Structures are given as C-alpha cells and as structure tokens.
Amino acid sequence: MVGQTATGHTFSLAFWYMEQENYNGYIWALQELKMLFQPPRIPKVIITDCEPALNMAIELVFPSSIHNYCTWHISKSLIQNCCKYFQEDYLKDYLTSWNLLVSSKSTEEYKNNLEKIKEKSKEYSGSWAYISNNLLPFKKKLVTAWASQHPHLGKQASSHVESAHSYMKSFINKSNRELSTVFQNFKTAIDIQLKHIHHTMGKERVCKLTDVSPPFKKLLGTISIKAIKIIEDQFQKLKHQPNLQPCSKTLTNGMGIPCSHEIEKLLNTKGYIGSEDFHPQWNLIYNPLEVGAILFLIFVIVVILKSCSMGH
C-alpha cells in the first residue's frame, strides 16, 4: 500500500506477508489495516483492481468507504481481451475512445462518448460484448463523472503501487532472507522515504513559486506547489473563458482543489482563496514536535489511503 505527500511524492505505507491471496487472506489484512485508523479517519475512497476476492473483503471490512476501480488495470484488461478483434492501429484508436469514455466529466458527456465507442464497435461485436458485460456495469467505479465526486485526490489508478513495490524489493537482495533481516531492510527503506518527505515539504515552504497570480500569493509556503499549479491553471481558464460550461464538481470533489467555478464564487463572496479552501492533504505546514501537528502529519498520511491500492 502506498501513500502520497502534499508535494505529490509516493511513499510506502503498509505491507502484508500473505500465504495466499484469497478472501480470508484479504479479510485478515484489511482488518489489521483498519485498526490503524481512528473511526473519523476511515478511508472514504479505496481504489483497487477488479479482483473479486479483494473486492468482497473490502465491502465487508470497509462498508462505508467508496470503492473505485483502477483505470490502469481496466485499460490493461481491455487490451488483453479485445486485442484479438483489431489490428494494432485500430486497437490504439479504440483504446483512445475508451479513455475518453472513462474521463467523461458529466453524464451527458458519458452518453455521447458511449455512442461513439458503440459506433466503433459495430464491426467488432466481440469487443462490445466484453465492454458491455464486463466493464460498463461498473461505470460508477470508473468514469470520472461518478468516481470523481469523492476525494481520490488525483489517484484514480494503482500503477503507483507497482513502482513503490519495485522500490521496496530493491532493498531485499534475496527471496529467502530471514524475516528479521527483511524487516530491518524495510525500516531502512522507510527511513529514507521519511527523510525525503521532510526534505521536500520543508523545501516547498521556503522555495516558492514566483509566477503566481495575486489571489494565490498567500498560499505560498502553506499549500503545495502541485496544488497551486492546478488552481493557477483553473484561474487562467476562468480569465480566458468567462462563459464557463456547467460545473461537474469533479475537480473540487475529487482533487480537493477549487475549480474555475469555485474560484469565481470564492473571489466574489470573500475576496480571496485561503488554505481552508483546499483539502488538508495539500497543506505543507506541520511541526512534528507539537502534538496537534503530529496528528496532522498522521492525517496527511491517512488521507492518501483514500486513493490507495491494496498491496502486499
């Protein structure tokens, strides 16, 4: 399992050694994980692949959490199951249409993109059968219009877990090492990550952006550069497109960052954008020596579980 800092860096958060990756094994792992959370901080969003045993375990252990599917794994599944129907060039085009469908920000946009991919599938009934039977029933776990109404904080795919897994494996030179040695190596890896987290967050509090619009000047050193760049893009959109399309809420709800519509509303009502207008995930300020700040650091770590993939 991985986490993400306010600066957007990934770090390893939890590990399990499982004899078997089955329903009972996942139940044990998730129950152990759940004990780490205070009740108010139970993950609101969990992202995984489509493994049935894992999905059923999540429903049992985290019944109140929104459970979305990893878009990366879904795309891989689509390629594996539909490549036999197309030539390579057409498959790429088909995958592009699928990605447009998944990234639909409204139900109306979804319907339009659905008709387009259905049209592309006319001569390839097998591909449409696979999509309609195996993927579309889970559209609310995949498509932005629904999946981004909950705080995934920019993590809609679990591919980050793959790279984090490789990083941890690099600290284990042999597969038959004793567990005590493995745990010590994991500790070393985590210590390195923690130092990197403190360094990058501290650096962003001091080294600030220079080309920031006036409404966001006070955010410098408080909100991460990653989040400020996103809201800056939204502000430029507002400036150059005064007649905005209806708001889908996918950025504000999914990322926890004000979109162009929200920026306009906030500037008209209170005249500024404050750190309180962002999800706490994006806040840089904490002091590990203060109790309240330690809780906030834990909150920063815990909150990224809202967009994690169950790993082992």
Whole-angstrom CA distances from 290 to 41, 124, 256, 257, 276 are: 20, 62, 26, 27, 20
Predicted local distance difference test score (pLDDT) of residue 302 = 31
Predicted local distance difference test score (pLDDT) of residue 90 = 84
Q: Which of 306, 311, 308 is nearest to 41 (CA)?
A: 306
Predicted local distance difference test score (pLDDT) of residue 10 = 80
* pLDDT tens digit at each of 312 positions of the chain: 777 788 888 887 777 777 788 999 999 989 988 888 777 778 888 888 888 898 999 999 999 988 899 898 899 999 999 888 887 778 888 999 999 999 999 999 999 999 999 999 888 888 999 999 999 999 999 999 999 998 888 888 877 777 777 888 888 766 666 778 888 888 898 899 889 988 998 999 998 888 899 999 999 999 999 999 999 999 999 998 878 888 999 999 999 999 999 999 999 999 999 999 999 889 998 554 443 333 333 333 333 333 333 333
Predicted local distance difference test score (pLDDT) of residue 295 = 31
49, 309 contact by CB (below 8 A): yes
Which residue in the block uniquely carries the two structure tokens 């220079």? Answer: 210
Cβ-proximal residues to 259 (8 Å cutoff; 6+ apart), any chain: 234, 247, 249, 250, 251, 252
Predicted local distance difference test score (pLDDT) of residue 296 = 31
| Alpha carbon distance 87, 264 (integer Å) | 47
Burial 155-171 (b: 16+ CB within 10 A, else e): bbbbebbeebbebbeee
| Alpha carbon distance 84, 101 (integer Å) | 21
pTM for this model (two decimals): 0.81
